[in-house]
Amino acid sequence: MKKELLMGTALVSTLGAASVAEAVTATMSGNHQTGMEFESPTSGGDTNSQINDNNFTVSLSETTDGGITVSSSFMLLNENGSGGDMDAGFTLAFSDGSKLDLINAGNASGSHDISVPGSAGAEALTLTTANNAPTGLDFATDATVFGLEYHTAPDFFMDGLTASVSFSTDNGANASATYKTDSHVAVGATYVTSAGDTTVTVGAGYSGSEGSKTGVSVTNDDGGAHIGVSAVTGDLTVAFGFADGDSIAGTTATAKDVQVDGEVVKAGVKYVSGDLTFNVGVTNGKAKDSATAGTAGTTDDSINQTSASVSYAVASGVTAIIGYTDTDSSNEGTSETSDGSAWYIGANMSF
C-alpha cells in the first residue's frame, strides 16, 4: 500500500506543478501495411491469406513553466481489430535529459534489448500452443501497469552510457489458479561507442518478478537477463543477442499456467543500398517447461528460424516488402508438423 501511495503522490504533485493550458500539442503518426502471406507447413496443404497491420497513434505533449515536458499517447483501434489499445501513462522529460515514465511504464530490462535484424515481412507459421521456446530477447520482462521507470540523462556516469531502473506493484486482483504477477524490479543499460568508422552499441538488462497462485507457491518466478551487441559501419548493420531466464506462459491465450526455463540466441545483418534494404536473421530458442508448481521438464521445446527480406522505397513513406521465413521446431523433443516455410509480399505506408 505504501508503494501505491508514494507513486500516486509523485504523479499528482509533479503534474500539479504544471501551468494550466488551454490545449496540449498533439501530433499523429501511424502506418497501414497490407499484403499476402503464403504458408507451406511440413504436413498439410499450403494456405494463403491477407495480412493487415494498421496503427494510428496520437501523441500529446506540453512543457511546464519549470521546463518539464509532460507527454502521453494513445492508439486508435481498427474497427475489425481486437485486443487492448496499449494506452500509455505519462512521461516527464526533464531539462537535464532524464525521463520518468509513470503508469504502464514497462520494464527497464526490456527497454535496452538490442534490435536484431530479421525479415521485415509479416510472414509467420502458427506453431502449437504447447511450444514455449522463446524467440525474443525480452521474453522474461514481466511487469504490472502500476509501475514507473526512470531513464538517466545521456552520458550517465561515462560518455555514451544511458541506464534505466523500473519497478511495479500488485494490481490488486485476487490470485487465481493461474499465475498473477505481483511486482517486479528491473535495471537496464545501453552503451554506445565508436571504433574507427564503426558505431558499436551494447545493450543489457536484468529483471526479477514475483507472482502468486491460489494456495500454491510457484517454483520459479518470471525473470532473467539479456545482452546484445550491434555494430553499424556505413550502410551495414550486424547485431547479436542472447537472453536467458524464466517466464510464465499459458496453455491457452488467457491462462498463465506454464513455467518456462528458456534461452534464445539471435543474430542478423541489414544492408542498405540506395532505395533497397536487405535483411537476414537467424533465431535459435529453446526451453524446458512444466506446470508452474511442478518439477521442471527434461525435454526441450525448440524453435529455429531463418528469415530474409528485401524492402524497396517506392516513394516517400511507401515501402514494398518481400519476406521469407523458414521454421524448424519441436515440442517436448518431437518435431512439429506445423513448422515449415512462409512467404510474404506486401507494402507499408507510414505517416
pLDDT for 2: 43
Confidence check: pLDDT of 4 > 80: no
Q: Which residue has the higher pLDDT, 264 or 13?
A: 264
Confidence check: pLDDT of 134 > 50: yes
Confidence check: pLDDT of 77 > 80: no
Which domains does the chain possess? 105-350 (2.40.160.10)
Confidence check: pLDDT of 87 > 70: no
- For the entire predicted model, the pTM comes to 0.85
Confidence check: pLDDT of 75 > 90: no
The single residue listed with the C-alpha cell 510457484 is 218
pLDDT for 130: 83
State how far the Cα of 97 lies from the Cα of 130, in Å rounded to an integer.
44
pLDDT for 79: 52
Nearest one of 59, 57, 62 to 24, comparing CA atoms? 62
Q: Which residue has the higher pLDDT, 299 or 345?
A: 345
What is the three-state SS of 176-208? CCCCEEEEEEEEEEEEEEEECCEEEEEEEEEEE
pLDDT digits (tens, 9 = 90+) for 237-277: 999 999 999 998 876 656 777 889 999 999 999 999 999 99
What is the percentage of the chain residues whose pLDDT exceeds 70? 88
Q: Which residue has the higher pLDDT, 13 or 326?
A: 326
Kindly list the distances between the CA atom of residue 77 and the CA atoms of 73, 82, 90, 206, 269, in Å, as whole numbers in the listed order.
13, 8, 20, 32, 33
- Give the three cell numbers for residue 83: 485486443
pLDDT digits (tens, 9 = 90+) for 94-124: 999 999 999 989 999 999 999 999 999 999 8
**pLDDT band at 126; cut points 50, 70, 90:** confident
Nearest one of 158, 241, 247 to 204, comparing CA atoms? 241
State how far the Cα of 344 lies from the Cα of 49, in Å rounded to an integer.
10
pLDDT digits (tens, 9 = 90+) for 282-331: 999 999 988 776 666 778 899 999 999 999 999 999 999 999 999 999 99
pLDDT for 1: 42
**pLDDT band at 81; cut points 50, 70, 90:** low
Confidence check: pLDDT of 44 > 90: no
